[in-house]
């Protein structure tokens, strides 16, 4: 298979410096994605085991159902607004996230946000692959009970994972790599399928549980209402922050996908369908199915794969578990594979192609043994949240530069030149103001994670980092001008 298969055509120019250019990073010649493709992207991002558990957790905060829905809509509305802000510069220029960052960080300094985002994606790529392999294990054990001994880490385990887990993880690792390797158009078709497929299973599962328990058993509050009046406001704000934090990674590098949009209007329509509309419908389905597990199975089950495993039908179990497996592969590719592929390629375009960048991420995801990372909440807390504290300021700097400093004007050709006369050369290719604003924003944002006395603000690290990064960069850039 040649490199021309499934690769969108890009436009390179003779004056583009090879240290900044390859066929994957160059501006697109033709942008073909419509509203449905963006809608399907968000469906793939939401419709996974992680999305199911996150949506369900909102309804277990001790709030009434209307308060949860209000917080959910506010949170997803914030995500929609910020995604539109991130989408425009990449859609207008046709370049991915790390390239548009050259305008603010410098043509070489853009590697700072690229590497930070890439490392976060590698960690989550491994964790999501592990979660998908756990769903696949449910299917295998249901079909072949004799495999049960090989699911015992004490008997057949290596580095904390049983033999069956290794086999499932390796299989899904290869499947994801194969889908990614065939190119962006194949990925587009794949995610066009994933999101709707989960909806089919979710509606079937909901119908089955309603048939078993009856309409009267539906309860949109998955626990007693513990917070009322003014006391509910901090909890609702926490729910809003949870929604924004869940989407913070894909939101930052949304330009990797909006660059394919045929128009900014099409991208915005896709965001409306994929975020407030889709997330609200999915969340209601999640809470209905979760609440019905109590009368049907005698306990509250928040894991959709476990819920499917309780169904009295081998066919239903296989269909449901495989669908959630495919959906998790979908979110993994769009959120945690494509991003580091562009990010790592940006570091050395002539040595690292888009595909090579993705494979670096894939290999790294195995080396961190994600099952051990996922099973250690403290490690996740101090590793991913510390790295995540950088996402906010990176976002703030990008938005401040494009909308406040440059007034939405970017000279695309200067993004690909190492000439000291280039607009984005700054000091030897680095913009000290952007790096300083990011460092200060990250330092302020990470304090609640590291200092126990400030732990109450830990859930707002994205907002803190974004605000500090945006304000500081805007002030120092305007004063310099």
Please indicate whether residue 355 or residue 52 has the higher confidence score (pLDDT). 355
Rounded Cα gap, residues 336 and 400, in angstroms: 25
The angle subtended at Cα 206 by Cα 75 and Cα 289, nearest 5°, is 55
Which of 79-88, 147-156, 222-231, 292-301 tops mean pLDDT?
A: 79-88
pLDDT digits (tens, 9 = 90+) for 12-46: 788 899 999 998 899 998 899 999 999 998 988 88
Reading the block at residue 122, the tokens are 């590698």
For the ranges 51-60, 279-288, 464-473, the lowest mean pLDDT is seen at 51-60
Query: 405 φ, ψ to 5°?
Result: -90, -50
For the ranges 78-87, 200-209, 317-326, the lowest mean pLDDT is seen at 317-326
Q: What is the mean pLDDT of residues 61-71?
A: 83
pLDDT digits (tens, 9 = 90+) for 217-237: 887 777 677 777 788 888 889
Class of domain 35-480: mainly alpha
Q: Inform me whether the pLDDT recorded for 210 exceeds 60.
A: yes
- What confidence category does residue 8 fall into, taking pLDDT thresholds of 50, 70 and 90? low
Which pLDDT does position 176 carry in this prediction? Answer: 87
Which pLDDT does position 480 carry in this prediction? Answer: 54
% of the chain at pLDDT higher than 90 = 40
Which pLDDT does position 121 carry in this prediction? Answer: 85
Q: What is the pTM of this model?
A: 0.86
| Residue-level length of the chain | 481
Which pLDDT does position 337 carry in this prediction? Answer: 82
Which pLDDT does position 305 carry in this prediction? Answer: 76
Which of 124-138, 219-233, 412-426 tops mean pLDDT?
A: 412-426
Q: Inform me whether the pLDDT recorded for 295 exceeds 70.
A: yes
pLDDT digits (tens, 9 = 90+) for 297-312: 888 887 787 788 788 7
For the ranges 1-5, 39-43, 47-51, 70-74, the lowest mean pLDDT is seen at 1-5
Exposure b/e, 379-402, CB count within 10 A at least 16 = b: eeeebbbebbbbbbbbbbbbbbbb
Which pLDDT does position 5 carry in this prediction? Answer: 37
Q: What is the mean pLDDT of residues 390-405?
A: 94
Which pLDDT does position 50 carry in this prediction? Answer: 72
Are 41 and 273 in contact by the 8 Å Cβ rule? The answer is no
For the ranges 177-191, 195-209, 364-378, 408-422, the lowest mean pLDDT is seen at 364-378
- CA 352 → CA 131, 241, 253, 360, distances in Å? 29, 36, 19, 9
pLDDT digits (tens, 9 = 90+) for 353-395: 888 888 898 899 899 888 887 766 566 656 666 777 888 999 9
Are 113 and 101 in contact by the 8 Å Cβ rule? The answer is yes
Write out the H or E segment, with its range, that includes residue 177: helix 163-181
3-class secondary structure, 427: strand
Q: Inform me whether the pLDDT recorded for 421 exceeds 70.
A: yes
Rounded Cα gap, residues 177 and 20, in angstroms: 25
Which pLDDT does position 331 carry in this prediction? Answer: 79
Q: Inform me whether the pLDDT recorded for 3 exceeds 70.
A: no
Rounded Cα gap, residues 321 and 217, in angstroms: 25
Q: Inform me whether the pLDDT recorded for 4 exceeds 50.
A: no
Which pLDDT does position 2 carry in this prediction? Answer: 36
**Per-position DSSP letters for 50-98, written without gaps between them:** HHHHHHHHHTTSS--HHHHHHHHHHHHHHHHHHHHHHHHHHHHHT--HH
For the ranges 63-67, 77-81, 146-150, the lowest mean pLDDT is seen at 63-67
- Average pLDDT value over all residues in the chain: 86
Which pLDDT does position 408 carry in this prediction? Answer: 94
Q: Name the residue among 118, 125, 153, 104 with its Cα closest to residue 393.
A: 104
pLDDT digits (tens, 9 = 90+) for 426-457: 999 999 999 999 999 999 999 988 888 887 88
% of the chain at pLDDT higher than 70 = 94
Q: Inform me whether the pLDDT recorded for 122 exceeds 70.
A: yes
Q: Inform me whether the pLDDT recorded for 326 exceeds 60.
A: yes
Give the contacts of 169 (CB within 8 A, at least 6 positions apart): 129, 130, 133, 161, 371
Q: Inform me whether the pLDDT recorded for 6 exceeds 50.
A: no
């Amino acid at each position: 298979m040649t490199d021309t298969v499934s690769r969108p055509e890009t436009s390179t120019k003779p004056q583009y410096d090879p240290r900044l250019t390859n066929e994957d990073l160059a501006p697109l010649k033709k942008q073909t994605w419509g509203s449905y493709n963006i809608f399907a992207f968000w469906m793939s991002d939401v419709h996974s085991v992680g999305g199911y558990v996150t949506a369900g957790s909102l309804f277990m905060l001790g709030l009434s159902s209307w308060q949860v829905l209000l917080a959910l809509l506010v949170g997803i509305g914030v995500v929609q607004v910020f995604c539109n802000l991130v989408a425009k510069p990449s859609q207008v220029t046709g370049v991915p996230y790390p390239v548009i960052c050259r305008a603010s960080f410098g043509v070489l300094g853009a590697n700072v946000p690229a590497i930070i985002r890439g490392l976060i994606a590698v960690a989550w790529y491994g964790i999501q692959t592990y979660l998908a392999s756990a769903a696949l294990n449910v299917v295998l054990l249901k079909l072949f009970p004799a495999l049960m001994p090989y699911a015992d880490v004490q008997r057949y385990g290596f580095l904390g994972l049983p033999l069956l887990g290794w086999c499932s993880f390796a299989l899904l690792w290869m499947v994801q790599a194969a889908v990614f390797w065939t190119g962006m158009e194949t990925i587009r078709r794949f995610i066009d399928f994933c999101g709707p497929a989960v909806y089919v299973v979710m509606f079937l599962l909901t119908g089955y549980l309603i048939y078993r328990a009856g309409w009267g058993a539906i309860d949109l509050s998955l626990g007693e209402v513990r917070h009322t009046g003014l006391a509910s406001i901090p909890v609702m704000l926490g729910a809003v922050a949870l929604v924004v934090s869940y989407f913070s990674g894909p939101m930052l590098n949304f330009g990797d996908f909006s660059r394919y949009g045929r128009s900014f209007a099409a991208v915005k329509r896709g965001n409306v369908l994929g975020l407030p509309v889709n997330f609200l419908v999915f969340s209601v389905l999640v809470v209905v199915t979760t609440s019905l597990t109590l009368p049907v199975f005698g306990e509250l089950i928040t894991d959709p794969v476990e819920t499917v495993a309780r169904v009295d039908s081998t066919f239903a179990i296989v269909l449901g578990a495989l669908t959630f497996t495919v959906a998790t592969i979908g979110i993994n590719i769009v959120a945690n594979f494509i991003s580091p592929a562009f990010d790592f390629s940006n570091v050395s375009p002539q040595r690292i192609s888009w595909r090579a960048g993705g494979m670096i991420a894939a290999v790294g995801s195995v080396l961190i043994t994600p099952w051990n990372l996922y099973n250690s909440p403290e490690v996740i807390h101090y590793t991913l949240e510390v790295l995540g504290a950088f996402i906010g300021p990176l976002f703030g700097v990008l938005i401040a530069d494009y909308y406040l400093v440059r007034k939405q004007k970017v000279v695309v050709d200067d993004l690909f030149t190492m000439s000291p006369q280039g607009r984005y050369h700054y000091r030897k290719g680095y913009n000290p103001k952007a790096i300083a604003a990011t460092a200060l924003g990250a330092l302020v944002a990470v304090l609640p994670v590291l200092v126990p006395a400030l732990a109450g603000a830990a859930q707002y690290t994205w907002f803190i980092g974004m605000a500090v990064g945006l304000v500081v960069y805007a002030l120092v850039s305007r004063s310099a001008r």
